[in-house]
Amino acid sequence: MLFFLRCLLIAAFDGCAQELKPGASLFGQHDYIEYIPGDLPLVIAVPHGGREKPAVIPDRTNGVVVMDANTQELARAIAAVLHVDTGRHPHLIICHLHRSKLDANRDIVEAAEGNSLAEQAWKEHHAFIEKACAKAVGQFGVAFLIDLHGHSHPDPRIELGYLHSALDLADCEEVLNSSGAIAASSLRWIVERGTPSHTDLLRGPQSLGAMLEREGFPATPSPRMPLPTEPFFRGGYTIARHCKSDKNVTGLQIEANRPRLRDTAENRQAFANALVKVLTVYLPLHLGVKIDKGKPLSEAL
């Protein structure tokens, strides 16, 4: 009995050690959800990049059931570039279930349609996001969450979803800078620090859209396209649930076009290089954390 208990304690210790090891994958039940812990203030979730279609989970009968092709591969490419450039890892949360089985970017009722296995995977997906964000906040004081998606809209641009619709973004600067608009924004934590205005963060020269465009990737909102044409993805359940100013979590939903970005390994690599280059400027500027190799990550500018 004592030997058995000792083995359990060793196994538990080994599990905790693995859990804390950046870059080492952890899995939920049945390996449906993968969490790769990191040591950067960046958390990347991929809810629609899975390909697994277990027969034990029935197909969903409502909502969108098409996967976001190559988003899992795109996230891994971004993580690889970050590791090369910084020696560190972002947090990655990847749903391996196909969207026809689970939509992890919806509330649990729509996402799983009552299936217990899908519900368990949904709970694990969001629990891993919460765990990753909490770890980043504990280490750096803030977490930057990217919910990574892919779109097939006619205009091949990157869509940046801050929880504002195209109609919202058509409002005047005064309205977008109002307390109500800021409270509804996934960038609220940044705005409340008192640096750039909300509209500057959304579409000014130091916005994520502006920085991506300077790297050759059309994006909206941005100075070139401050008002997105429809259709436009504003950001969904995951960003609304997890980007909470009182929890020191900020971020956005990135919708990547397939042509010239997600379609080939070369194009995914080019975007990964560009995004990491942008983040090494954006995160210090707006979050006060550096991610340059060899520099103190928690050192504020």
Can you name the residues that pair with 43 across neighbouring β-strands?
91, 145
Phi–psi pair at 149, nearest 5 degrees: -135, 175
Q: Looking at residue 294, what is its pLDDT? A: 52
pLDDT at 195: 76
Residues in the chain: 301
183 within some domain = yes
Position 11 scores a pLDDT of 38
Domain that holds residue 156: 31-287
The confidence score (pLDDT) of residue 292 equals 72
pLDDT at 244: 98
Tell me if 62 is assigned to some domain.
yes
Question: Distance between CA 190 and CA 63 in Å, rounded?
Answer: 33
- In a domain, residue 301? The reply is no
Helices 265-287, 71-86: inter-axial angle, 10-degree rounding: 60
Structure tokens at 180: 């109500």
* Cα–Cα distance for residue pair 70/251, rounded to 1 Å: 21
**Residue 26 belongs to a domain:** no
**Spatial contact of 74 and 256, defined as CB atoms under 8 Å apart:** yes
**Is 13 within a domain?**
no
The CATH number of the domain holding residue 245 is 3.40.630.40
Q: What's the pLDDT at 225?
A: 98
Query: How confident is the model at residue 19, as a pLDDT?
Result: 54
What pLDDT, on the 0 to 100 scale, is given for residue 169? Answer: 98
Q: For the chain, how many structural domains are there in total?
A: 1
In whole angstroms, how far apart are CA 188 and each of 56, 110, 143, 250, 287? 41, 27, 13, 7, 12
- Work out the percent of the chain whose per-residue pLDDT is above 90: 89
| Segments in the chain below pLDDT 70 | 1-20, 293-301
User: Is residue 127, in this structure, part of any structural domain at all?
Assistant: yes
- The C-alpha atoms of residue 210 and residue 163 are separated, in whole angstroms, by 18
CB 63 within 8 A of CB 147: no
* Residue 2 in domain: no
Q: What is the pLDDT of residues 170-188, one digit of tens each?
A: 999 999 999 999 999 999 9
Does residue 299 fall inside a structural domain? no
How many Å apart are CA 179 and CA 184, to the nearest integer?
9
